[in-house]
Amino acid sequence: MRPELDAEQARLADEVDRVLDSAPPGTAPLDLFALLGAERLLAVHYPVEFGGRGLSLAHHVAAAERMGARGLPDVVHIVTVQALGGALLAFGSAEQQARWLPPIAAGRLFGSLLLSEPEAGSDAAAIRATANPDGEGWRITGVKTWSVATDRSGVALCSARTRAGLNRYDGISLFLLDLADPAIRMTPLPRALGDPYFEVTVDGAYVGPESLVGPLHRGWSLLPSTISFERAGFECLSRAASWLAAAEEEFRRLPSEERAAGAGDLVRLRARLAGARALAFHTMHTADDLDVDEVLIAFSKLACARAGQAVARWAGEELPPTPALRAAVAEAPELTVSGGPQEQQLDLIAHDFPIGGAVR
Ligand SMILES: Cc1cc2nc3c(=O)[nH]c(=O)nc-3n(C[C@H](O)[C@H](O)[C@H](O)COP(=O)(O)OP(=O)(O)OC[C@H]3O[C@@H](n4cnc5c(N)ncnc54)[C@H](O)[C@@H]3O)c2cc1C
């Protein structure tokens, strides 16, 4: 049962299943994205002229959730379709939208986010990358890190300082970078498990005026929306759901007395994940077009990330260490750091509560 989805959203999720079922076994994930793109299923919330179906964000997450559940690398989808494509949809010029959104919606172009830096992780205002005026455009220089799926990407959204700034949030601008530019070098940073992160060195890459996304010097205010999908926690949910499935498989192999002792834990974990999922869908159902409530997103991200961590912790403590469960334990700490650490979510929530208003 999928109570969070209305009939049309449930049909979309089924359509995703049908397209994926029609692919020959062993089809590479990036080719599966192209198959979904050809059916306009990859970005149903994009307007029809850009390869979408002109539907709502809630419809999009219903389709995207199925892609994650079927094992497609949701980080590719979240960064490309949701973050980079979403930023262009919300703040891009008509030319940028017409150029970049159709290949993204078709699953033929993938993108990356170049926001974090070695000395400026979660604090995205502490960046040192600069974009200095050069003719009609700018030359960008800096080092970005923790970028994911960068080796599969053709384009990246990069933050850089365009002036010293009236305060630390002023003077940051966002640019589109062509990752094939020889002035850009990427180095994999291996992880204990899974795909590597990338450190990306940008050494005087020239970008023209058509590459500036949103207003000059005022890119900071666009960043929360850019990563808001990631912050809603959907990527935590799909990872948590696959960890729970792996845990349940192991649980069924335990001797009956151990199963009896652990059954209550399993019921609580399932309920916790279902509650987090309901909250994540609620944030999307209540979105005003592309505008999602910041505080609801913070609640949702916290609930999803912590539910995922609870699953991994339980599996790590109570079950034999299979490769899938080891991966869950290794990856779980990331959930409360990526896309904004939990402290930032708590801060947002605290400021919105009446007591926060009273002490401000
Ligand atoms: C899976 C994953 C994918 C990512 N993908 C990308 C990407 O594609 N592009 C990109 O640019 N970046 C990406 N990041 C980077 C991410 O957004 C953060 O910038 C980065 O993880 C922060 O790492 P750090 O080591 O600098 O930690 P820090 O930010 O230094 O955090 C260290 C610790 O301090 C805590 N902390 C942080 N801020 C506060 C605060 N304000 N108050 C209290 N405590 C705080 C954190 O919770 C954490 O425990 C990704 C990260 C992960 C885990």
Alpha carbon of 19 to ligand 1 centroid (Å):
35
In a domain, 64, yes or no: yes
Alpha carbon of 248 to ligand 1 centroid (Å):
30
Contacts of residue 174, Cβ cutoff 8 Å, sequence gap at least 6: 87, 157, 158, 159, 212, 213, 214, 219, 222, 223, 226
302 with 254, same domain: the answer is: yes
User: Of the residues 197, 219, 241, which one is the last residue of a structural domain?
Assistant: 219
Alpha carbon of 120 to ligand 1 centroid (Å):
9
Pocket of ligand 1 (CB under 6 A): 79, 112-116, 121-122, 146-148, 334, 337-339, 341-344
pLDDT digits (tens, 9 = 90+) for 63-75: 999 999 898 988 8
**CATH number assigned to the domain comprising residue 319:** 1.20.140.10
145 with 67, same domain: the answer is: no
Give the number of the atom of ligand 1 that is nearest the alpha carbon of residue 144: 11
* Segment 223-238 mean pLDDT: 83
Residue 221, pLDDT above cutoff 50: yes
In a domain, 57, yes or no: yes
Euclidean distance between CA atoms 49 and 43, whole angstroms: 12
39 with 81, same domain: the answer is: yes
Which amino acid makes up residue 279? Answer: L
Spell out the SS3 assignment of the chain: CCCCCCHHHHHHHHHHHHHHHHCCCCCCHHHHHHHHHHCCCCCCCCCHHHCCCCCCHHHHHHHHHHHHHCCCCHHHHHHHHHHHHHHHHHHCCHHHHHHHHHHHHCCCCCEEEECCECCECCCCCCCCCEEEEECCEEEEEEEEEEEECHHHCCEEEEEEECCCCCCCCCCEEEEEEECCCCCEEEEEECCCCCCCEEEEEEEEEEECHHHEECCCCECHHHHHHHCHHHHHCHHHHHHHHHHHHHHHHHHHCCCHHHHHHHHHHHHHHHHHHHHHHHHHHHHHHCCECCECCHHHHHHHHHHHHHHHHHHHHHHHHHCCCCHHHHHHHHHHHHHHCCCCCHHHHHHHHHHHCHHHHHHC
241 with 350, same domain: the answer is: yes
Alpha carbon of 246 to ligand 1 centroid (Å):
27
Alpha carbon of 338 to ligand 1 centroid (Å):
5
Strand 130-134 to strand 172-178: parallel, antiparallel, or no bridges (unpaired)? unpaired
pLDDT digits (tens, 9 = 90+) for 258-314: 999 999 999 999 999 999 999 999 998 888 888 888 899 999 999 999 999 999 999
User: Of the residues 185, 219, 253, which one is the last residue of a structural domain?
Assistant: 219
118 with 92, same domain: the answer is: no
Determine contact, residues 45/60, Cβ cutoff 8 Å.
Answer: yes
268 with 309, same domain: the answer is: yes
In a domain, 1, yes or no: no
Euclidean distance between CA atoms 59 and 53, whole angstroms: 10
pLDDT digits (tens, 9 = 90+) for 333-343: 999 998 888 99
* Segment 21-32 mean pLDDT: 95
Residue 4, pLDDT above cutoff 70: yes
**CATH number assigned to the domain comprising residue 95:** 1.10.540.10
Q: What percent of the chain has pLDDT over 70?
A: 97
Confidence of residue 1 (pLDDT cuts 50, 70, 90): very low
Phi, psi at 155, each rounded to 5°: -140, 155
pLDDT at 360: 45
Half-sphere exposure at residue 140, Cβ-oriented, CA atoms within 13 angstroms: 35
Confidence of residue 103 (pLDDT cuts 50, 70, 90): very high
Closest Cα to atom 21, ligand 1: which residue?
338
pLDDT digits (tens, 9 = 90+) for 193-203: 788 999 999 99
129 with 174, same domain: the answer is: yes
30 with 42, same domain: the answer is: yes
In a domain, 281, yes or no: yes
Residue keyed to tokens 């199963």: 259
231 with 343, same domain: the answer is: yes
Alpha carbon of 123 to ligand 1 centroid (Å):
8
pLDDT at 3: 66
In a domain, 360, yes or no: no
Q: How many domains does the chain have?
A: 3
Residue 173, pLDDT above cutoff 80: yes
Alpha carbon of 336 to ligand 1 centroid (Å):
9
Core vs surface per residue 129-154: b (16+ CB within 10 A) or e: bbbeeeeebbbbbbbbbbbbbbebbb
155 vs 1, higher pLDDT: 155
Residue 191, pLDDT above cutoff 70: yes
Closest Cα to atom 15, ligand 1: which residue?
146
Euclidean distance between CA atoms 102 and 87, whole angstroms: 14
Hey, which of 122, 155, 159 would you mutate to test ligand 1's pocket, going by the most ligand atoms within 8 Å of its Cβ? 122
Give the number of the atom of ligand 1 that is nearest the alpha carbon of residue 336: 47
pLDDT at 231: 73
207 with 233, same domain: the answer is: no
Closest Cα to atom 45, ligand 1: which residue?
343
Alpha carbon of 145 to ligand 1 centroid (Å):
10
User: Of the residues 80, 109, 138, which one is the last residue of a structural domain?
Assistant: 109
Closest Cα to atom 19, ligand 1: which residue?
121
In a domain, 293, yes or no: yes
Alpha carbon of 333 to ligand 1 centroid (Å):
11
Domain residue limits at 43: 7-109
Determine contact, residues 280/300, Cβ cutoff 8 Å.
Answer: yes
Phi, psi at 196, each rounded to 5°: -75, 160
Alpha carbon of 150 to ligand 1 centroid (Å):
17
Residue 52, pLDDT above cutoff 90: yes
329 with 237, same domain: the answer is: yes
Give the number of the atom of ligand 1 that is nearest the alpha carbon of residue 344: 41
Give the number of the atom of ligand 1 that is nearest the alpha carbon of residue 331: 1
In a domain, 124, yes or no: yes
Give the number of the atom of ligand 1 that is nearest the alpha carbon of residue 113: 9
Averaged pLDDT score across all residues of the chain: 92
Confidence of residue 5 (pLDDT cuts 50, 70, 90): confident
**CATH number assigned to the domain comprising residue 116:** 2.40.110.10
Best CA proximity match to 160, nearest among 131, 182, 183, 199? 131
Which amino acid makes up residue 17? Answer: D
Euclidean distance between CA atoms 332 and 353, whole angstroms: 29
Give the number of the atom of ligand 1 that is nearest the alpha carbon of residue 334: 53
In a domain, 2, yes or no: no
250 with 351, same domain: the answer is: yes
Euclidean distance between CA atoms 21 and 39, whole angstroms: 14
